[in-house]
Structure 1
């Protein structure tokens, strides 16, 4: 498998992700949106930081179960239930400072949305990996 990440001339600089991720792989892995739910099914207690930490833990567990690592991630979409750009940036900072950080060097999108699927849910992460 090969993954090539690039930022073509003529596109704006990024805070760590790449505009283009090109993949030649035998296997693609699509994770369901990883939510801040604990194994018990309960929402992680606390605010945005604690929910983001749970999303990171859940994503690492799902990738591991599929035989993948954060370095194998080729696309992420981050959803934050907020219209506050500071909160979106805070989630980005938490993700890119975590063990999952290599996943965010690939093509990545960060979105503020009106609401997510579970009551009081603030963060969700959609991930595609390649092996």
Structure 2
């Protein structure tokens, strides 16, 4: 498998992700959007930071169970239920300071949305990996 990440000279610089992720792989792994639910199904406490921590843990467990690591991630879409740009930036910063950080060097999108699927849910991340 090969993963090539690139930022063409004619596109704007990025805060760590790449505009293009080109993959040649035998297996693609699509994770369901990972929510801030703990193993018992309860919503993680601690507001946006606590929920983001739980989502990170859930993604790491899911990747490991599929035989993948954050280095194998080729695309992420991060949803934050907030219209406040500082909330989106806080999630991005927290993710980049976590063990999931290598996943965010691929093609990545960060969105503020009106609401997510579970009452009180503030963050969800959609992940695609390749092996």
Normalization by structure 1: what TM-score? 1.00
Unaligned runs of 5+ in 1: none
**What's 1:55 paired with?**
55
After superposition, give the CA deviation of every residue in 1:10-50 in whole Å (9 maximum; x if it has no partner).
Answer: 10000000000000000000000000000000000111000
RMSD (Å) for aligned C-alpha atoms: 0.3
For the residues of structure 2 that align with 1:24 and 1:62, how far apart are their CA atoms?
22
Aligned partners of 1:117, 1:40: CA distance in 2, in Å?
17
Q: 1:32 corresponds to which residue?
A: 32
1:127 alignment counterpart: 127
Question: How many residue pairs align between the two structures?
Answer: 131
The 5 Å alignment of 1:66-105 reads: 66-105=66-105
- Provide the C-alpha distance between the structure 2 equivalents of 1:45 and 1:91, rounded to a whole number of angstroms: 15
Query: 2:22 — aligned with what?
Result: 22
Q: Determine the structure 2 residue equivalent to 1:115.
A: 115
Looking at structure 2, the residues matched to 79 and 45 of structure 1 have their Cα atoms a distance apart, in angstroms, of: 18
Stretches of structure 2 lacking an aligned partner (at least 5 in a row): none
Q: What are the Cα deviations for residues 66-123 of structure 1, in whole angstroms up to 9, with x where unaligned?
A: 0000000000000000000000000000001100000000000000000000000000
2:110 match: secondary structure: strand
Which TM-score applies when normalising by structure 2? 1.00
